[in-house]
């Protein structure tokens, strides 16, 4: 089966906005080092593009979590599939996410990461669906785009593991 994808945010607009957010991060962390944490797999395209525009010293680590839910909805019960390689203690941490929907996944993740005693922890997301939020402990520090409640793909985001490689953000039209 093949789905029809409609462009929601073009490649140019996506990259321009990521660049703007990177400049904001450069200003906010001037004179400091930043430890980027990518939540796999969806956050990978965004983190690479963001990191290319950061001029402060940056280190990176990756983790993978799996949420027990169906394909399009998370349950809030999260399992760490791949943990970070490096400790967080004393570091200024920026968690880089593809999308925040209900916030359940990140709500859990932030509690886990906070326990590892970073100096600070902030959250950066490519996309946010604020009207879908069901948890209240997820405060987003950097958002590239707020979008309506639609299922989006591309720029790292998948539908049944497909479409992550699209260079733009699209909506599936059945």
Active site (catalytic) residues: 101
102 binds ligand IMP (CB under 6 A): yes
Query: Pick from 55, 63, 68: which is nearest to 80 by CA?
Result: 63
Question: Shortest Cβ distance from residue 38 to ligand IMP (Å)?
Answer: 11
> Which residue in 21, 29, 37, 98 binds Mg ion (CB under 5 A)?
98
Contact 65, 121 (CB under 8 A): no
Does the footprint of ligand IMP cover residue 123 (CB under 6 A)? no
Cα dihedral 157, 161, 162, 167 in deg (nearest 10): 30
Q: Which residue has the tokens 């886990």?
A: 112
- Cβ 138 vs Cβ 110: under 8 Å: yes
Residue 51 CB coordination number (10 Å): 17
- Tell whether residue 128 is a contact of Mg ion (CB under 5 A): no
Q: Give yes or no for residue 118 binding ligand IMP (CB under 6 A).
A: no
- Using the minimum distance from each CB to ligand IMP, give the nearer residue, 29 or 155: 155
Listed ranges 2-10, 29-37, 92-100, 109-117: which one lies at the site for ligand IMP (CB under 6 A): 92-100
Name the residue nearer to ligand IMP (CB basis): 55 or 150.
Answer: 150
Angle subtended at Cα 61 by Cα 47 and Cα 128, rounded to the nearest 5 degrees: 40
Structure tokens at 42: 């969806």
> What x-and-dash track marks residues 62-81 binding ligand IMP by CB under 6 A?
-----x------x-------
Q: Which of 47, 99, 110, 126 binds ligand IMP (CB under 6 A)?
A: 99
Kindly state whether residue 157 participates in binding ligand IMP, applying the rule CB under 6 A: yes
Sign of CA dihedral 122, 125, 30, 36: positive
β-strand pairing of 78-82 with 120-128 = unpaired
Binding stretches for ligand IMP (CB under 6 A):
42, 67, 74, 97-106, 151-153, 157
């Amino acid at each position: 089966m093949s789905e029809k994808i409609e462009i929601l945010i073009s490649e140019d607009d996506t990259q321009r906005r990521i660049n703007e957010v990177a400049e904001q991060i450069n200003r906010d962390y001037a004179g400091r080092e930043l430890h980027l944490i990518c939540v796999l797999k969806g956050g990978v395209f965004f983190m690479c593009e963001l990191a290319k525009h950061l001029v402060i010293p940056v280190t990176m680590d990756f983790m993978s979590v799996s949420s027990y839910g169906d394909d399009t909805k998370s349950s809030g019960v999260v399992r760490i599939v791949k943990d970070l390689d490096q400790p967080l203690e004393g570091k200024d941490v920026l968690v880089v996410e593809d999308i925040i929907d209900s916030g359940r996944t990140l709500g859990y993740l932030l509690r886990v990461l906070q326990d590892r005693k970073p100096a600070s922890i902030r959250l950066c997301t490519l996309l946010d669906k604020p009207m879908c939020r069901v948890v209240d402990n997820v405060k987003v520090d950097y958002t590239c785009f707020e979008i309506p409640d639609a299922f989006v793909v591309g720029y790292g985001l998948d539908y049944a593991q497909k479409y992550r490689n699209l260079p733009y953000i699209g909506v599936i039209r059945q």
